[in-house]
Amino acid sequence: MNSSRPDLDVIVHMVSAGSRVLDLGCGDGTLLAELVAQKGVQGRGVEVDEVKVRGCMSKGLSVRHGNIEDGLADFPDGMFDVVILSQTVAYLNRPLGVMQEMARVGRSAIISFENAGYWKARGRSLRGGGAGTTLVSGQPRVRSITLPQFDEVLHHLGLQAKERVLLRGSEPVRRWPSLFADAAVFRVAKA
């Protein structure tokens, strides 16, 4: 679907056909539209940027304009089969609260993030390049998340990984993923 975001293909693969899906930080709705087309899901999105929200509307999607924290509070318990948070958790102010809420409104959650433990990231950090995005890039604040950190969060929240796909580029990584995967996609549910 998108060569720069191989995690999205993994997510599409993980979602069962016909399920009720909430995509948090859904952008212009590319992933949701793909899920509707390929899996016939009933999709809803939450997106903070007005232009992207209108992009969702032009794809025929239903979307709630607003930030993820406010948007999630609007949905009743267990309304969705899957709640998706793709490449967004690193940018949240209160990631634990959001993950808890995801577990409330959905029976399962799919979360993807960049692995800050990837050897190139570690190397850059060791060479003094710092973790996450550089200051000069002008990118928003971003949290570095490693695989052991994510496991720890799941344990802390009483969640369990039901499925996980670790990627380098678009290829799955099986050996030493903590070091060799640049991205991770987890499907989690209450333990």
Partner 1 sequence: MIVHTQQVTFDEELRLKSGATLKPVTLAYETYGTLNADRSNTILICHALSGDAHVAGQHSPHDRKPGWWDDAVGPGKAFDTDRYFIVCSNVIGGCSGSTGPSSINPETGRPYGLSFPVVTVADMVEAQRWLIDALDIPSLLCVTGGSMGGMQALQWAVSYPDRVRSALVLASTACTSAQTIALNEVPRQAIYADPNWNEGDYYGKEPPNAGLAVARMIGHITYLSETSMREKFGRRLQERERYGYDFATEFEVESYLKYHGNRFTSRFDANSFLYITKAIDYFDLSLGRGDLSEAFADVKAKILVLSYSSDWLYPPEQSEELVRGLLRNGIDASYVEIKSDYGHDAFLLEVERLGELTRDFLAKVERETSGPAGPAQGAPTSTGEREEKVYPLASWAAKTRGTWRLAKVEQREIA
Part of the chain binding partner 1 (CB under 8 A), chosen from 54-62, 91-99, 108-116, 121-129:
54-62
How many whole angstroms separate alpha carbon 74 and alpha carbon 103?
14
Asked whether the CA dihedral 146, 148, 151, 153 is positive or negative, the reply is: negative
Q: Binding of partner 1 at residue 65 (CB under 8 A)?
A: yes
Q: Binding of partner 1 at residue 41 (CB under 8 A)?
A: no
What residues are paired with 189 via a beta bridge? 160
Among residues 13, 74, 96, 130, the one that binds partner 1 under rule CB under 8 A: 74
Q: Binding of partner 1 at residue 36 (CB under 8 A)?
A: no
Among residues 1, 18, 70, 97, the one that binds partner 1 under rule CB under 8 A: 70
Q: Binding of partner 1 at residue 104 (CB under 8 A)?
A: no
> Total residues contacting partner 1 (rule CB under 8 A)?
17
Among residues 18, 60, 148, 172, the one that binds partner 1 under rule CB under 8 A: 60
Binding site for partner 1 (CB under 8 A): 50, 53-54, 57-58, 60, 62-66, 70, 73-76, 79
